[in-house]
Amino acid sequence: MPMTKREAMLKQLSTYQFAALDLQLYLDTHADDGRATEQMQRYKQQARTLRQQYEKLYGPLTKSSDDGNQWSWINGPWPWESEADN
C-alpha cells in the first residue's frame, strides 16, 4: 500500500511538528538556550505553512481550524484508518 498524496503531505507536516515538539520539550529544562529556541521557531513556522496547505486541501485538523462545513470534520479517514476504510 503506497502512501496517498494526503498521507505524504500529513507525514511532512508531522515531521516538522515533531521536530518542534522535541525541541520544545528540551527547552522546558533549558529555557535559556537561544539557538534551540530559534530552531524551534523555524520548525514551527514550517509546520504552520504545511498545515495551512494541508487543511486547504483536506479539511480541518482541529475543531478550531477554519472549515467549510461540519461534515469535513466528521468524515474520514480518521487517524487510525486508511483511505480504503471509507
Partner 1 sequence: MFVYEKKLQYPVKIKTPNARLAKAIMSQLGGPDGELGAALRYLNQRYTMPAPELKAVLTDIGTEELNHVEMIGAILYQLTKDLTVDQIKAQGFDDYFVDHTTGVYPQSASGVPFTTAYIQSKGDAITDLHENLAAEQKARVTYDNILRLADDHDVKDAIRFLRAREVVHYQRFGEALRLLTDKMDAKNFYAFNPEFDKSCLVKNKRNRKA
Q: How far is the CB of 62 from partner 1 (least distance, A)?
A: 5
Closest CB to partner 1 among 64 and 86?
A: 64
Contact status, residue 42 vs residue 22, Cβ threshold 8 Å: no
For 54, the grid coordinates are 494541508
List of residues contacting partner 1 (CB under 8 A):
1, 3, 7, 10-11, 13-14, 18, 21-22, 24-26, 28-32, 60-64, 73, 78-80, 82
Question: Letter for the amino acid at 20?
Answer: A
Q: How far is the CB of 48 from partner 1 (least distance, A)?
A: 13
Q: How far is the CB of 42 from partner 1 (least distance, A)?
A: 19
Contact status, residue 83 vs residue 77, Cβ threshold 8 Å: yes
First to last CA, the chain: 15
